[in-house]
Amino acid sequence: MSGNLFLTGRKFYRAGLRDAAHCIKEWSPPQLSAPDKSAWCPIRLTDMKVILLEEDKLANVSDGYARNYLLPKKLAVLATPEAIKQMGKRADANRQKREEQKKIMEELAEKLTSKEIIIKADAGEEGKLFGSVTTTDVAKAVLDTFGEELDKKKINLNEHIKMLGEYIASVKLHTDVVAHLKIRVEKK
């Protein structure tokens, strides 16, 4: 009697063989042309529902990944009914906090667009600046004019400011809120 030995994971499955010694002597690779479907044992990967803590969302991950990596490193918790309720409460609190921040930033945007910022710089006779006006200069002028501190990385000068005149710069205050500053560069 001949049969095939299949290696699936760490378990050997015998199909139509008398004993293990006979398996070792008579082993041959599985036939690709006409596979014996009754000899295959399906691998069942069990999924585990967890809550990923960094993203705060529910996910299905494999059992081993959850037990060996996510849970010991405290990157996830099991998705129990209590944990799902807490996740919903955290999501509501985060949504309210984002809405409050958005309202504050909209008020700041209205305040910034209401006035013109004046920057004094050294310039030649034809109005060409000695150097240029940078985002750092704009942030200092906003602090002097409005008393509000802005991150210079969030200020976008739409064009290089190398001449005297009027310009417009945009400031990204929030993901949905952008303020447009009116800048006037004057000679010292």
Strands 155-157 and 4-8: unpaired
Based on the fold, state whether residues 71 and 34 are members of the same structural domain: no
d(Cα 129, Cα 28) in Å, to the nearest integer?
Answer: 84
Residue 110 DSSP class: H
Based on the fold, state whether residues 26 and 69 are members of the same structural domain: no
Structure tokens at 43: 């691998």
pLDDT at 9 over 80: no
The average pLDDT across 31-42 equals: 51
Q: Burial of 163 by CB count in 10 Å (0-12 exposed, 13-18 middle, 19+ buried)?
A: middle
Q: Domain containing 67: what range?
A: 47-100
DSSP per-residue letters across 19-74: -HHHHHHS--PPPSSS--TTT-----PPEEEEEETTTTEEEEEEHHHIIIIITTTT
What CATH number is attached to the domain comprising 68? 3.40.5.10
User: What is residue 30's predicted lDDT score, i.e. its pLDDT?
Assistant: 54
Q: Burial of 50 by CB count in 10 Å (0-12 exposed, 13-18 middle, 19+ buried)?
A: buried
Closest CA to 181 of 164, 167, 166, 169: 169
Strands 116-121 and 178-187: parallel
Based on the fold, state whether residues 153 and 114 are members of the same structural domain: yes
CA 161 to chain centre: 34
Residues 103-148 have pLDDT tens digits of 999 999 999 999 999 999 999 989 999 999 999 999 999 999 999 8
Of the chain, the percentage scoring pLDDT greater than 70 comes to 76
What CATH number is attached to the domain comprising 131? 3.10.430.100
Based on the fold, state whether residues 52 and 89 are members of the same structural domain: yes
The average pLDDT across 60-86 equals: 91
Based on the fold, state whether residues 70 and 23 are members of the same structural domain: no
N residues, the chain: 188
The H helix count followed by the E strand count for the chain is 4, 11
Q: Burial of 4 by CB count in 10 Å (0-12 exposed, 13-18 middle, 19+ buried)?
A: buried
pLDDT at 43 over 70: no
Based on the fold, state whether residues 37 and 67 are members of the same structural domain: no
* Number of domains observed in the structure of the chain: 3
Based on the fold, state whether residues 10 and 24 are members of the same structural domain: yes
User: What is residue 15's predicted lDDT score, i.e. its pLDDT?
Assistant: 45
User: What is residue 128's predicted lDDT score, i.e. its pLDDT?
Assistant: 93
Based on the fold, state whether residues 120 and 175 are members of the same structural domain: yes
pLDDT at 73 over 50: yes
Based on the fold, state whether residues 89 and 58 are members of the same structural domain: yes
Most confident segment among 15-19, 31-35, 42-46, 180-184: 180-184
Based on the fold, state whether residues 40 and 96 are members of the same structural domain: no
pLDDT at 41 over 80: no
Based on the fold, state whether residues 179 and 115 are members of the same structural domain: yes
Based on the fold, state whether residues 143 and 130 are members of the same structural domain: yes
Under 8 Å between Cβ of 177 and 101:
no
